[in-house]
Amino acid sequence: MDYFEYRNGELFCEDVPVKAVARKVGTPFYLYSYGTFERHLRVFDGAFGDMPHIVCYSLKANPNGALLRTVARLGGGADIVSGGELYRALEAGIPAEKIVYSGVGKSREELRYAIDAGIRMINIESEGELRLLARLSRNMKKRVPVSIRVNPEIDPKTHPYITTGLKKNKFGVLWADALRLYREMAAEEYLAPVGISSHIGSQILELGPFIEAVTSLKSMILELKGRGITVEMLDIGGGLGITYKDELPPDPAQYARAIRENLGNTGVTLILEPGRVIVGNSGIFVTKLLYVKGTAGKIFYVVDGAMNDLVRPSLYNAYHEILPVEEGKTKTEVVDLVGPICESGDFFAKDRELASLKEGDLVAIKGAGAYGFAMSSNYNSRRRAAEVLVKGGEFFVVRRRETYKDLKRGESIPQFLEV
Ligand SMILES: *Cc1c(COP(=O)(O)O)cnc(C)c1O
């Protein structure tokens, strides 16, 4: 469900023609629908009904400040994986008591920042991190609520790069070790073992892996209880998948029901960390066709957006639906849609049947709200794209396109090279 649709053959985001935004801000740009984002958050939160829970939006999917402000306004929390994300979440007005922190390599500085801010829970991912956190909490004389991110050894049947809960992955702690760490924590004056957490992967399209994870976490909670350690929070991570092409992921209601049924009466507060399912289909990436190039029996549509803007096709071989902003052309062509970057991996689609387009036409790449701008870079010294938010019939530039000057920001020339 999203608010991108054709009206009289023209692609709209809510009540704004995509073309009108292009005219104003140039191309390429990300276009987000406020209504879609807000709706997804509400539906996801509502699916858990009266179960005690906190929806902690996963910042890494898309940390744009306007979206974070929306999360804060709707009473949501944040799932963060770095000090930078903690900064952004706090700046947006997300309260510290609704922020949880995961990540396999948190630095001393980042941990200190999180302790200082007084966030809800730090999810420990290794024995070394536990030691460091224990030391910091003693030095700072501050109670630190922690959980252990356990590795439930579950195959979520998704892309290998976004699988995180297998024994061979770098994330989390195996249960046997976790049990020992919980006991160590209980002996620490300032560490409060308040939760248990896991996150098994991303773009998960079946309930099975979630059910397995919840079932196994439930038995861990009970085992801990048997040893005198009562956790009050269960963080089951994010990972619910979305439709990019023809996938049929469970909807939030089915997901919530499966968790509720398999968790039973443990009395814990659920922490949910959805990213992609909230923001993925709330955004599109709009780019302009520069050249139609025929070579050796192939047709290349060369556009002004590239892998530095949206890397998912190059990185994961991900499929994104590609639509002409002006509909109505029945003729199609099998083409490669590629960007200007000097890499053969710079493509959005290969051998795809698309509406036949001409130079200057606009193209929309759907499902680009999550892991789109967030993963963008300045490779090839390309300025990062603008981000635009639509609400009803209005649109707002929520991040301007970078300037050439921005490309040099932070650089300095050593004196010996000065003219
Ligand atoms: C990436 C991540 C998420 C969000 O995953 P989605 O697939 O976008 O829902 C949640 N929790 C943790 C710990 C993550 O690393």
Asked if 13 is an active-site residue, the reply is no
Question: Any residues with CB less than 8 A from the CB of 47 and at least 6 apart, and which?
Answer: 251, 252, 253, 255, 256
pLDDT value for 152 = 85
Q: Which atom of ligand 1 is nearest to the CA of 273?
A: 10
**What does the chain come to in residues?**
419
Residue 324 beta carbon below 6 angstroms from any ligand 1 atom: no
Residue that terminates a domain, selected from 214, 244, 274: 274
Taking 80 as the threshold, does the pLDDT of residue 162 lie above it?
no
Residue 149 beta carbon below 6 angstroms from any ligand 1 atom: no
Percent of the chain with pLDDT over 90: 91
pLDDT value for 110 = 98
Residue that terminates a domain, selected from 274, 309, 343: 274
∠ CA 52-256-74, rounded to 5° = 60
Co-location of 358 and 259 in the same domain: no
Determine which one of 1, 296, 342, 417 is catalytic. Answer: 342
Q: Domain of 256?
A: 95-274
Q: Which atom of ligand 1 is nearest to the CA of 204?
A: 7
How far away, in angstroms, is 169 Cα from ligand 1 center? 15
Tokens describing residue 193: 């073992």
Amino acid of residue 289: L
By the 10 Å C-beta count (0-12 exposed, 13-18 middle, 19+ buried), 376 is classed as buried
Residue 200 beta carbon below 6 angstroms from any ligand 1 atom: no
Cα–Cα distance measured from residue 389 to residue 36, given in angstroms and rounded to the nearest whole number:
11
Using alpha carbons, list the distances in angstroms from residue 31 to 236, 374, 381. 30, 13, 22
Amino acid of residue 337: L
Tell me if 274 sits within 8 A of 238, measured CB to CB. Answer: yes
Co-location of 370 and 255 in the same domain: no
Total-model pTM:
0.96
Question: Any residues with CB less than 8 A from the CB of 36 and at least 6 apart, and which?
Answer: 1, 2, 3, 4, 281, 282
Co-location of 122 and 256 in the same domain: yes
pLDDT band at residue 397 using 50, 70 and 90 as cut-offs:
very high
Tell me if 369 sits within 8 A of 384, measured CB to CB. Answer: no
Co-location of 123 and 21 in the same domain: no
Looking at residues 387-396, what average pLDDT do you find? 98
Ranges of H-type helices in 126-281: 127-140, 175-186, 208-226, 252-263, 276-279
Co-location of 263 and 138 in the same domain: yes
Co-location of 200 and 286 in the same domain: no
How many helices, marked H, and strands, marked E, lie in the chain? Answer: 12, 20
pLDDT band at residue 153 using 50, 70 and 90 as cut-offs:
confident
Residue 275 beta carbon below 6 angstroms from any ligand 1 atom: yes
Tokens describing residue 299: 């047709």
